[in-house]
Chains A and B, each alone.
Chain A
Amino acid sequence: MHELALIQELCALAQAAAEQQGATRITQLWLQVGDRCGVDADALRLAFAVVQEQHCWRQTHLNLELVPTQCRCHRCQQPYRPEDVVALCPHCGGLECDRLTGQELTLMAVEVA
């Protein structure tokens, strides 16, 4: 459900940026979606399809850029990609880490005409 709210937020941000440029049409959107941001990419696509039933978004293409999780181990400071929900460090077995990427939910760019 919250995917629709997020897509509406996406559209509001894009529209504001387009209006600032005096553009009348938004042809493409680029959205970065981290794999641990709590939002499902398919659900976002579905929610965007709902928005596209409105005339002004019918010609807009949504590009989703999926970002995999990257961690940095607190103990050995090495970066790694966790294989599981448990972010165990493959180098030293450490459990505590900083998440470098994977939480993104970011409107990167819009293409306007």
Chain B
Amino acid sequence: MCNGAVHRLELQQRLLSRNDQDAARNRRQFQRLGLQVVNLLSAPGSGKTSLLEQLARRWPRPPIGVIVGDLATDHDATRLRQAGARSVQICTGDRCHLDAVLVERALAQLDAAALDLLVIENVGNLVCPTAFDLGEQRRVAVLAVTEGEDKPLKYPALFATADAVLINKSDLADAVGFDRAAAHHNLRAVAPRAPVFEVSARQGESLTAWMQWLEQPHGLGP
């Protein structure tokens, strides 16, 4: 190109196209395994791990699988194993989200053929993970009552892409002055089609409705 001529190449390539391809590969793998996969997203401190401990104890066909994305420690995976889950930790280091390749590698470490439910506990972060498809069939966003009822309006992308929303730590709602009606109103506004379940890890029976939703097979058709 020594003549210095410039020309324009039209590409129209999605920036996340490589991740999308990796996610599509995961999705096919999940389907082959007959595995329901849920990507669980929230802010830090929303209580996802405690909730999953309860789910692991209550799921009718144990064990469940959990892939935990965490910045540094493997503390959460240990807790989940103690609750009976099969669990792998992905230490993301300075990365603020999981991507599809990290999930693919973690899946290889789980004996996934024996599982029927896999939960990917994403890194606590309200912005970054939303853009990355991991190959999951369904996304679940978690809002803890301690975060306040206006969170869905501040971070609409997270909630708008969710197939269901959990209002967690619901037993603390009155104590922290959480406005239930406003929360449901705000969630309907940004995620009109997502069912909302109020749950609390301290009241295991509160998980029943969400578990029934999880039991409905989704995206595993021929």
Contact = CB atoms under 8 A, between A and B. Distances in A.
Contacts of B4: 113
B72 interface: no
A9 B18 contact: yes
A85 B17 CA distance: 26
B14 A106 contact: yes
B44 to A, nearest CB: 14
A12 B13 CA distance: 12
A109 interface: yes
B13 A96 contact: no
Given A2-B97, A9-B16, A111-B6, A24 B1 contact: yes
A18 B19 CA distance: 21
A107 B13 contact: yes
A18 B13 CA distance: 14
Contacts of B97: 2
Given A107-B11, A109-B11, A1 B6 contact: no
Contacts of B130: 38
Interface in A41-83: none
Interface stretch (B47-55, B82-90, B136-144, B188-196): B188-196
A105 B157 contact: no
Interface residues of A, number: 38
A5 interface: yes
Contacts of B11: 13-14, 17, 107-110
Interface residues on B, range: 20 to 34
Contacts of B189: 86, 88, 95
A2 B131 contact: yes
A13 B9 contact: no
Interface string A13-42: 110011001111101100100001111000
A86 B153 contact: yes
- Among B11, B15, B131, the most chain A Cβ lie within 10 Å of the Cβ of B15
A111 B17 CA distance: 20
Interface string B1-45: 100111111111111111100000000000000000000000000
Contacts of B16: 6, 9, 105
- Among B6, B13, B132, the most chain A Cβ lie within 10 Å of the Cβ of B13
B131 A112 contact: no
B14 A5 contact: no
Given A1-B128, A110-B11, 18 more contacts: A2-B97, A2-B131, A5-B95, A9-B15, A12-B18, A23-B1, A25-B1, A27-B6, A38-B130, A106-B12, A106-B13, A106-B15, A107-B14, A109-B9, A109-B12, A112-B6, A112-B7, A113-B6
6 contacts: A10-B15, A87-B190, A88-B189, A95-B188, A95-B189, A112-B8
Interface of A: 1-2, 5-6, 9-10, 12-14, 17-18, 21-25, 27-28, 31, 36-39, 85-88, 95-96, 105-113
